[in-house]
Amino acid sequence: MQILIFKTNLTDVNQINAVESSLNVHPDIYKWNVDLHDCDKILRVVANDIPGKEVENLLTEAGYFCEELK
């Protein structure tokens, strides 16, 4: 298990709902959440051996910015 942390440009619940289905159906993602109160709109993903780039691509394909924080 790993926890990945991303900076995003998600700003409200409607935008989170727009990416929810992509994140929920991914077989290697167990849990995720977005902290809208954080200045970087942090997305935390609990996953099983998934490259950060894959999560970035899921959000990018939905039209949002996503960058893994190291």
Mean pLDDT across 36-65: 96
Q: What is the pTM of this model?
A: 0.94
- Describe the strand order of the beta sheet including 2-8 as a list of residue ranges: 29-35, 42-47, 2-8, 66-68
Looking at residue 43, what is its pLDDT? 98
Average pLDDT score over the chain? 96
Looking at residue 5, what is its pLDDT? 98
pLDDT at 70 over 90: no
The C-alpha atoms of residue 12 and residue 3 are separated, in whole angstroms, by 22
Mean pLDDT across 25-32: 96
Burial of 13-45, coded b for 16+ CB within 10 Å and e otherwise, reads eebbeebeeebeebeebeebebeeeeeebbbeb
